[in-house]
Structure 1
Amino acid sequence: MADRVDEKPIDTEDKDERDIVLSARDVTVGFGSKVVLDNLNLNIYRGEILGFVGASGTGKSVLMRTVLRLLPRRSGTIKILGQDFDELDEPQRNALDMRLGVLFQQGALFSSLTVKENIQVPMREYLDLPRSLMDELAHLKIRMVGLAADAADKYPSELSGGMIKRAALARALALDPELVFLDEPTSGLDPIGAAEFDELIANLRDSLGLTVYMVTHDLDSLFSVCDRIAVLGKKRVMVEGTIEDMLAYDDPWVQAYFKGKRARSIVPQDDGARHGSSGK
């Protein structure tokens, strides 16, 4: 059953027995007189890939940046892995930050650092490790995301778009996080590269037990790897649920997005079948 805009996500065992990894309650975010998110509510469950979609300007990136404390909120509470950042001291916040990984839309690699050095940035910030161990861990992450070993000593300017995304993902995984945030991970990739990246995300979720918060406009990603989808609109989460819930939800934008020409080329509209892997 999909959660609707006028309902708070239910966080009882009747709704889902898995742990709630991220919860947002009555979150309001604005800039000056403009309110972007208004009393937004959301749950993300352990082990799932949750895809966020919405029309341009609905606040997808604003929500992610608010959750990551890169933007302030006017009201509401956000709990990650059962903890409210507002109630933590600095050491506790650092400990929680280490359990999160982030891949920004364009990769956001440091141009003056090699791939290996980029991956080691969070290690240097949070850990006290010898250089040899950091090198070993960086090479492990490079292999994990499917990059060749010689990518370690290359600079971002020497990488293709797909390689940049993989290097950025390796950095997001540097501290073995439990929850990973992906902002448009397949943006700018050709269809083959995007499909390969989707498969990589699904495989890493399964092998590492990750929970994935993914902002995307890529219908292929939504249909192939996302267990659930949250649609942002009207300053809040309009509907939360599976592909089947999206296909059945009575809203013009949702219907146009999930039943439009592009969607019909991906999935049969008579059954809404989804063939991707599931963490359920």
Structure 2
Amino acid sequence: MGSRTNTIHAEIQDPGSKGEVLLSVRDLTVAFGDNVILDKLSLEIRRGEILGFVGASGSGKSVLLRTILGLIRKQSGTIRLFGVDLEKANELERLRIDMRLGVLFQHGALFSALTVLENVQVPMREYLDLPRKLMDELARLKIDLVGLPPDAADKYPSELSGGMIKRAALARALALDPDIVFLDEPTSGLDPIGAAEFDELVAKMRDTMGLTVYMVTHDLDSLFSVCDRVAVLGNKKVLVEGTIDDMLKSDEPWVKSYFRGKRARQLDLAARVEME
């Protein structure tokens, strides 16, 4: 097992070219019984970009994310990751793909009985055959990378602040040096300063590590400050996608209300004051 996973890990380190489509979703339909959640939805994300994914509560954002990750079965359509159709992927191909993905679930989802160090090591134990000492060193590197102090490694989730939990969860998502990181409401529950710091961290990771980021969020600050593109989910499919400028020009009622409503105007005013 050790030799196989090490070979797989070596094979998947080709960084590829910036702008390459890493995730392609085409005509995806997901339903629970007669309740159709997503109807022929299409979406793609390219290497090196931060895609913000938004939509009204209950619109299916988490369902889409969990379907892409293979946690929910689809009724029809195709999902391709790194050029591979997931439905046709064999066990080895699926293992290779899983090792290229990192996930930060809502609220961090850390294992309460494990220390931060042990939480970060979970993907390493699942996919790699490494000596304990090397795993400790790699986990501590990830903990430092996300801006946590060294002593955080030996703390349990109950001993961490909300912001530290998010950073620890990000360290775990980065454990295998993934190509794509999926972030589900990463700044929810954080104060404005903590949220801004987390956004800066995500942007830094993208720029220094070449990460591609799929970010489900309601945070307008995140959308305006770090996202290269935004996709809006509505009516069971992607209504609009493009830059923030595209969102501001859209005449779709929900998009217009969200990006040009009262809160958005306050955000724009604050940005103008800061520039002055």
Instruction: Give the TM-score taking structure 2 as reference length.
Output: 0.90
In structure 1, distance between residues paired with 2:242 and 2:268: 17
Is residue 25 from structure 1 mapped to residue 51 from structure 2 by the alignment? no
Is residue 240 from structure 1 mapped to residue 238 from structure 2 by the alignment? no
Equivalent AA in structure 2 for residue 205 of structure 1 = R
Give the corresponding residue for 1:7: none
Give the corresponding residue for 1:177: 178
Q: Residues 7-39 of structure 1, C-alpha deviation per residue, up to 9 Å, x if partnerless?
A: xxxxxxxxxx82001000000001011000000
1:85-104 equivalent positions in 2, closer than 5 A: 85-104=86-105
Is residue 224 from structure 1 mapped to residue 217 from structure 2 by the alignment? no
The secondary structure found in structure 1 opposite 2:267 is: coil
Report the alpha carbon displacement of residue 235 of structure 1 after superposing the two structures with TM. Answer: 0.3
The secondary structure found in structure 1 opposite 2:268 is: coil
1:126-165 equivalent positions in 2, closer than 5 A: 126-165=127-166
In structure 2, distance between residues paired with 1:240 and 1:161: 31
Report the alpha carbon displacement of residue 184 of structure 1 after superposing the two structures with TM. Answer: 0.1
Equivalent AA in structure 1 for residue 85 of structure 2 = D
Q: Residues 34-90 of structure 1, C-alpha deviation per residue, up to 9 Å, x if partnerless?
A: 000000001101100000110111100000000000000000000011111212211
The secondary structure found in structure 2 opposite 1:196 is: helix
Considering fraction of residues, name the structure with more helix. 2
Q: CA RMSD in A?
A: 1.4
Equivalent AA in structure 1 for residue 159 of structure 2 = E
Report the alpha carbon displacement of residue 261 of structure 1 after superposing the two structures with TM. Answer: 1.1
Equivalent AA in structure 1 for residue 191 of structure 2 = D
In structure 2, distance between residues paired with 1:48 and 1:91: 27
The secondary structure found in structure 2 opposite 1:128 is: coil
Report the alpha carbon displacement of residue 248 of structure 1 after superposing the two structures with TM. Answer: 0.8
The secondary structure found in structure 2 opposite 1:22 is: strand
Q: Residues 201-229 of structure 1, C-alpha deviation per residue, up to 9 Å, x if partnerless?
A: 00000000000000000000000000000
Aligned length: 255
The secondary structure found in structure 1 opposite 2:78 is: strand
Give the corresponding residue for 1:249: 250
Report the alpha carbon displacement of residue 267 of structure 1 after superposing the two structures with TM. Answer: 2.2
In structure 2, distance between residues paired with 1:207 and 1:216: 23
Q: Residues 160-181 of structure 1, C-alpha deviation per residue, up to 9 Å, x if partnerless?
A: 0000000000000000000000
Report the alpha carbon displacement of residue 92 of structure 1 after superposing the two structures with TM. Answer: 1.7
Q: Residues 116-145 of structure 1, C-alpha deviation per residue, up to 9 Å, x if partnerless?
A: 000000000000000000000000000000
In structure 2, distance between residues paired with 1:243 and 1:220: 11
Give the corresponding residue for 1:75: 76
The secondary structure found in structure 2 opposite 1:18 is: coil
Residue ranges of structure 1 left out of the alignment (5+ in a row): 1-16, 276-280
Residue ranges of structure 2 left out of the alignment (5+ in a row): 1-17
The secondary structure found in structure 2 opposite 1:167 is: helix
In structure 2, distance between residues paired with 1:244 and 1:102: 28
Give the corresponding residue for 2:64: 63
Give the corresponding residue for 2:121: 120
The secondary structure found in structure 2 opposite 1:265 is: helix
In structure 2, distance between residues paired with 1:160 and 1:26: 41
